[in-house]
Structure 1
């Protein structure tokens, strides 16, 4: 009896599981299910566009800017072979983004978008500053910021956001697919991105066992094999050389360097005011007195001179007597 009871329990449990699967499956939705008017991205494969009003054998048409089914013929057409597994081929759709119409009905079927993806690293506690390419202290808690248009996947039924994965590689070559924060909580590096920009919150505390050095990081999205089909940097995957350097253990204290006094120049002597040099009085102009020439006496005749000498001698002789 015990064996029969156990066998019966196994059957009931199995039937319950099968019933649960039958109940859940019809309502389950996948990231490949595109709603009417929804957005598909270049590179996605296996997407189901039946909810967009598209059936096998229908022809989709794309019109250049300013045109529509009401204004003329499409610039490009695509025949759908399998509406449940449609491939947004880069060769066909890369230059034809925007609305694609179902030409059988003339109604918009879906939007085609060219994906873009960017990732940066920010601190958490000190102003949420972009630290990409910079050094940060080991006791800074870090977070990632993801900017993308892939968040439109959150509009698909049952999808919470675009699955964006992040990889971090240290100098020792170890690649991390999960990081630990200050509280010791380990976070897998895959995020359901439902907005842009998307902040992961504090998920990385370098002082929790991570070595100093340069860490490279990148992000990618491979929903519906889009990365493999459209491996373009900046679109389905970011550059692998984005980095952050972990180099100090404490927050740097900003100190004001001592001010070196500049050499003091000797005081400039004040200019000495010299007494004003008197201006010499103007000398009155000298009135020139006309010089009257003195007449030169004419020499005495020789006989008179002899007589004078003789007279002088006689006077001298008389005096001596």
Structure 2
């Protein structure tokens, strides 16, 4: 009985140890899987934002059209050479997400060129099975030509720009949890002790002495130019406006404005306008009308007689 009890106890201990080991192993496997993340792009062109070292993938259905266009360049009438663009496009679509590159591990931005995307597509087609069944053509030579045409088409029409949202510039403190890097196009901020901002702020000038100033004058008296534009102004003396009345002195001895000519304005005869009709012209018109009437009267009387 004692041996049986000891055996049961040992079995229970071994079972508990195995379960704990399985749980720990599963946790480690899950942690290792979660550390590798993939960012899925909506197309083979545009911008992708993710974390440093993240893989970048493109859905096969988003590459199907450009792949089909490349295969059509090698297609013969009724697929006589075995090239079937629709089959090639369907193969790429069924492949799902195709990894084409990754976000840089030590830079804020990067690029995935079109040739990198084309290489990933060509590898997917090569690993899809029988090249003839895929629609690449009959014979190795034709299949290579079809893959080259697809590669050139994808290279010329695809390309991605990548941005890392957790990149920290060397020498600057790392971002706090929950914060992200500035979006592309945002001006970089400078860190100066005691001063913060984006560098686009402006400050008022320290001295306004170079702006012409007006000194308040005395009530009931005209303000002379020397008061309106003091000697500290930057305008030259000859450019200062003069205060006075046309036809008289600008100022009197006592500093008062000379207004002796005020109210004595008179009209000056202007030159005749070019379109005005003068008296000689009117007389000539009246005379011509009288002569015309006499001639008409004479002509009518002769006809009646």
Please tell me the TM-score bracket, short chain as reference. Answer: under 0.3
Higher strand proportion (structure 1 or 2): 1
User: TM-score, normalization: structure 2?
Assistant: 0.28
TM-score between both structures, scaled by the size of structure 1: 0.27
Taking CA–CA contacts closer than 8 Å with sequence separation of 6 or more, which of the two structures ends up with the larger relative contact order? 1
Q: Which has the higher helix share?
A: 2
